[in-house]
Amino acid sequence: LFLWGLGGRGDVFQQFCKEEKICLYGVTDITQDCIGQNTKYGNKIVSNSYVLQGGGFIIASNKRVYDYLIEQNAGLSVLNLEMYCPI
């Protein structure tokens, strides 16, 4: 399970995962400034290419990211978090 998007919705999702003891294999964002660091929730920030090649399920934090991921590879398993978390 990966998260793509470190904005407000991504932050809320990471908090939820931490509280529910859901393990994220990595998180990424369109900006690649913090690769190798951890978020305040302890999740490793990884590169976009790592997530794309990871073969896991990707939680897209918004529709823009979701659309981008669908365009990249129709075989990716992606969920648009914005549909379920309208903040």
Query: What pLDDT does 7 receive?
Result: 93
Query: What pLDDT does 76 receive?
Result: 87
For the beta carbon of residue 5, count every other beta carbon within 10 angstroms.
Answer: 23
Q: Say if CB 52 and CB 76 are below 8 A apart.
A: yes
From first to last of its 87 residues, what are the pLDDT tens digits of the chain?
999 999 999 999 999 999 999 999 999 998 888 999 999 999 999 999 999 988 889 999 999 999 999 998 768 899 999 999 877
pTM (2 d.p.): 0.92
DSSP symbols for the chain: -EEE--SHHHHHHHHHHHHTTPPPSEEE-SS-TTTT-B-TTSPBB--HHHHHHS-SEEEESSHHHHHHHHHH-TT-EEEEGGGT---
